Structure 1
Amino acid sequence: MSNETKLCMSCMNEVPASATSCPHCGFNGSQRNPEICLPIGYRLNNRYVIGMRKDYDGDSASYVGYDCSLNCMVEVREFLPVNGCTRDPKDYRVNPKLGAELHYKTSLMDFCELFKNLAKLTSEQNIIRTTDFFEANQTAYAIMEVFDGITLREFLSLKNGKVTYEQSLLLLSPVIDALYSIHKVNLIHRGVSPDTIFISRSGFIKLGGFATSAVRTKGTEVANKLFSGYTAPEQYTTNQFQSAATDVYSIAATFYRCITGIAPQDADQRCNYDTLEPIADLAPEIPAYAAKAISMGMILNADTRAQSVLEFKKILKNEYVSAEEETDEEEREQGVSVSGRKKTKSKHDKVRLASTITIFAVCLLVVGIFVFGIWKFVLNGGQGGEAPEQQGTELVVPNYVGEDSTQIVRDNKNFYYIIVPELSSDVPENQVIRQEPAAGTAVEEGTRTTITIYRSKGNLVTMVKVTGLHYKEAYEKLNAIGVKYIIKEVDNELYTKGYVISQDIKEDEEINASTRTVTLTIAKTDENDDEDI
């Protein structure tokens, strides 16, 4: 930067030294940061220039910054719980308020742990990287890269509100990979949503929006910042354990939003009255296994939800394996479980375990040889010689057709189940219509064959035309096919009073009469006819 230019303290672009305002953002130098914050122009750690405060999330402030060593714009995050601290105007040190010392100290430790661990993820390309971390002014600072992109929410608005399942997989697979890396360093994001996922013009995707657990949990001593529809139910209380499954809920909810174009019902509301419409109903075109994965990811009970992002991703892509197969060698070496809790064994424990296994294996081998000898002897009528070759054990697929899908007794040892809802005009709701493979199909025991069960969603009917009819005749036609209706009266002199002007479900459209209601707009009748309506 030459003597003829200066930095804009709002956007960090170079502007002429004589300029009174920035031609890029309009900053004119009269703006000031709040007193609790660092002042504009402050040089932090003899390297970073502080600009305008851009955001606040409960326990930290974010500033526009400039890295004088690398000559680039950065984001500076300062631990600053404004309700529990003050700042000395002389040396800018942050001091906890009287009585808030313990909370300040523990919250500062959480902030440090979060960004120190994020700074370790230097090879993870799908997160907003923490490039530097240090303590100063009796608080702590994280320096983060600036990513030039728009949020996923903004991206969806450019795509008419939603994308296909295949497109959502391309968009969010990098986010799942980023979450996997985060969980490996024992962190939980707790804020995955369309507002914390960013997309560049070249299509590169990064996850941001990192915050401490206190900010992402309701009922803590700091102002929380939750994302309605994407925050997991266990984040609405301080009494429930949070784990990798917490992030599974959020990423599944984000898939739901991308594919359906509809924001999911708030999890806290779902716990009281769950009206979340199944994604299989809203987007019947997506694969059954994908619908199952998203539904499993959004289960309210965290213990029965998919427990890791890898498990969720494998079901989502129809590549499901057992939890034992899912754990890779690196995780086992590090002793990290899918919930982010360390499991370590001492060297002595490992040696003792290995010895026990060896002794057990030898005993088992001896017993096996003995039993095998007796078996051969019996099969040969007490004579020596070779025993007949044993054939592999086969099972047959059970018949589920006609059963209540909610009452099916599942053989989870030998089969993996996918339930697919399907409209039916003659099969009662939840009753199994058909299955694949068919009942009686022979399968090898222990191979975990997938059984797809198609259950009835209820009564399928074809909508009739009632527009232009008198409302009484319209009622009769709708009652005859079992369709419920609601009435909306309007003043309209162009139509005869009492006649149907319009219907919001078109003629010949197939609907589920158990869940859909048609709205009829009727030309307002005389007052003495109101009882009939």
Structure 2
Amino acid sequence: MTAEHEQALPVGTRLGDYRLDAVIGHGGFGITYRAFDTQLAKFVAIKEYLPVEFALRRPDGEVVPRGARYSDDFAWGRDRFLDEARALARFRHPHIVPVLRYFEAHGTAYTVMEFEDGSSVSQLLRQQGRRFQPDEVKRLAEGLLSGLAAVHAQGFLHRDIKPSNVIIRRDGVPILIDFGAARQAMGGRTRTLTGILTPQYAPIEQYALDGKQGPWSDIYSTAAVLHHAIAGFAPPDAASRVGTDPYRPLAVTQADRFDGALLAAVDRGLAFAPEQRPQTIEAWRPMFGAALPRVEDAPTERLPHLQPSTP
């Protein structure tokens, strides 16, 4: 097994036309590989459904439930994973990672996406003393709002916006990756939040398995990413904001570096109570004022319904 994750497939494994050559991400819900498409001669990213809480990989490479009592949850989660891939494969947007195909193999499911060559916001922020410059924050905000407007227009939520799920390509374009709707659905079924939310970026309603979520939830997480990019650190965990709220507005702490309207918009997006936040991207965008000029969102291209392919 690879050093990055003991459950990962070995480097060099073939999945049909794809040859795995690196693990580039892993978590409680699955593993993401960089792979080489031997037919098209290009790199892609492949996400594998492997929920470690109730599944494991056998020595022969098959992914199986940890026991009979986990079989139904494993199969249900795999179906939700494929549902999400099927939905995301049906549209294209310049700030959303394209899903190219999906398939089943090794007892589990896989999603094939474009490999976005760049660094995550998380990686950029880990550089010592790194904070984004005003123009970088504006470009990040524009890309995230544009991408989310398209996602929400199709009736979807991202549900897991955080610095590691935003790639800044080498040309500077921000790309949203790794949607979390299937993980949220699994959390609701199994009644556990393990691996489902990311403290400091998740709104308070995600802490309750029956909490009402909507575009305002993605807005909170987006504002948390922008806060980190502006200030160099994430906002307080939403759970710590119950009662006495320790949040310090950016409009106060960062007024010497950034446009006041932009800071106020991010502060508004980070309102603790869901009803105090903008309820839609369309309502949030004007709050940025001249810091985020109104531009026409790139159209979302609806694609024909795709059938799962055989690896």
Alignment TM class, shorter chain as reference: 0.7 to 0.9
1:189–1:103 distance in 2 versus 1, CA, 3 Å:
same
Counterpart position of 1:310: 282
- 1:55 maps onto 2:25 in alignment: yes
Whole-Å separation in 1 of the counterparts to 2:282 and 2:186: 23
- 1:144 maps onto 2:144 in alignment: no
Whole-Å separation in 2 of the counterparts to 1:216 and 1:173: 31
Counterpart position of 1:374: none
How far is the alpha carbon of 1:129 from its aligned partner?
Answer: 2.0
Counterpart position of 2:81: 111
1:95–1:216 distance in 2 versus 1, CA, 3 Å:
closer
SS of structure 2 residue aligned to 1:213: helix
- Which of residues 46, 51, 57 is equivalent to 1:76? 46
1:216–1:192 distance in 2 versus 1, CA, 3 Å:
farther
Whole-Å separation in 1 of the counterparts to 2:235 and 2:225: 8
SS of structure 2 residue aligned to 1:99: helix
How far is the alpha carbon of 1:307 from its aligned partner?
Answer: 0.8
Counterpart position of 1:169: 138
1:86–1:230 distance in 2 versus 1, CA, 3 Å:
closer
1:189–1:264 distance in 2 versus 1, CA, 3 Å:
same
Whole-Å separation in 2 of the counterparts to 1:284 and 1:271: 26
How far is the alpha carbon of 1:85 from its aligned partner?
Answer: 2.7
- Which of residues 193, 198, 206 is equivalent to 1:235? 206
Counterpart position of 2:183: 213
- 1:196 maps onto 2:168 in alignment: no
1:103–1:256 distance in 2 versus 1, CA, 3 Å:
same
How far is the alpha carbon of 1:82 from its aligned partner?
Answer: 2.7
1:31–1:142 distance in 2 versus 1, CA, 3 Å:
closer
What residue ranges of structure 2 are gaps of 5+ in the alignment?
301-311
Give yes or no for contact 1:191–1:210 (8 Å, CA) kept in 2: yes
How far is the alpha carbon of 1:87 from its aligned partner?
Answer: 4.5
Whole-Å separation in 2 of the counterparts to 1:232 and 1:246: 6
Whole-Å separation in 1 of the counterparts to 2:133 and 2:169: 19
How far is the alpha carbon of 1:143 from its aligned partner?
Answer: 0.8
SS of structure 2 residue aligned to 1:76: strand
- 1:131 maps onto 2:103 in alignment: no
Whole-Å separation in 2 of the counterparts to 1:31 and 1:261: 32
1:156–1:57 distance in 2 versus 1, CA, 3 Å:
closer
- 1:256 maps onto 2:224 in alignment: no
Whole-Å separation in 1 of the counterparts to 2:273 and 2:222: 16
1:183–1:253 distance in 2 versus 1, CA, 3 Å:
same
How far is the alpha carbon of 1:169 from its aligned partner?
Answer: 1.3
Counterpart position of 1:92: 62
Q: Indicate the structure (1 or 2) with the bigger Cα radius of gyration.
A: 1
The size of the alignment, in residue pairs, is 292
* Structure with higher RCO (Cα < 8 A, 6+ apart): 2
Whole-Å separation in 2 of the counterparts to 1:149 and 1:41: 23
SS of structure 2 residue aligned to 1:132: strand
How far is the alpha carbon of 1:237 from its aligned partner?
Answer: 2.0
Whole-Å separation in 1 of the counterparts to 2:230 and 2:61: 52
1:294-309 correspondence runs (5 A): 294-309=266-281
Q: Supply the AA of the counterpart residue of 2:52.
A: V
- Which of residues 260, 276, 279 is equivalent to 2:247? 276
Say which structure is richer in helix: 2
Whole-Å separation in 2 of the counterparts to 1:88 and 1:130: 28
Give the TM-score of the pair, scaled to structure 1: 0.49
Give yes or no for contact 1:152–1:198 (8 Å, CA) kept in 2: yes
1:496-511 correspondence runs (5 A): none
Give yes or no for contact 1:53–1:64 (8 Å, CA) kept in 2: yes
Whole-Å separation in 2 of the counterparts to 1:58 and 1:146: 21
Q: Supply the AA of the counterpart residue of 1:201.
A: R
Whole-Å separation in 1 of the counterparts to 2:136 and 2:120: 16
Q: Supply the AA of the counterpart residue of 2:114.
A: E
What residue ranges of structure 1 are gaps of 5+ in the alignment?
1-29, 321-327, 332-533
Give the TM-score of the pair, scaled to structure 2: 0.80
- Quote the RMSD (CA, aligned, Å): 3.2
- 1:290 maps onto 2:262 in alignment: yes
Whole-Å separation in 1 of the counterparts to 2:214 and 2:255: 31
Aligned sequence identity (%): 24
SS of structure 2 residue aligned to 1:206: strand
1:253–1:81 distance in 2 versus 1, CA, 3 Å:
closer
Give yes or no for contact 1:216–1:235 (8 Å, CA) kept in 2: no
1:245-394 correspondence runs (5 A): 245-285=216-256, 286-317=258-289
SS of structure 1 residue aligned to 2:89: helix
Q: Supply the AA of the counterpart residue of 2:27.
A: D
SS of structure 2 residue aligned to 1:177: helix
Whole-Å separation in 2 of the counterparts to 1:236 and 1:222: 8
Whole-Å separation in 1 of the counterparts to 2:279 and 2:30: 30
SS of structure 2 residue aligned to 1:198: strand
1:270–1:217 distance in 2 versus 1, CA, 3 Å:
farther
Q: Supply the AA of the counterpart residue of 2:237.
A: D
How far is the alpha carbon of 1:196 from its aligned partner?
Answer: 1.9
How far is the alpha carbon of 1:34 from its aligned partner?
Answer: 6.9
Cα offsets for 1:40-82 (capped at 9, x unmatched): 43332x2122344443221212223221111122222111123
Give yes or no for contact 1:188–1:247 (8 Å, CA) kept in 2: yes
Counterpart position of 1:367: none
Whole-Å separation in 1 of the counterparts to 2:60 and 2:132: 53
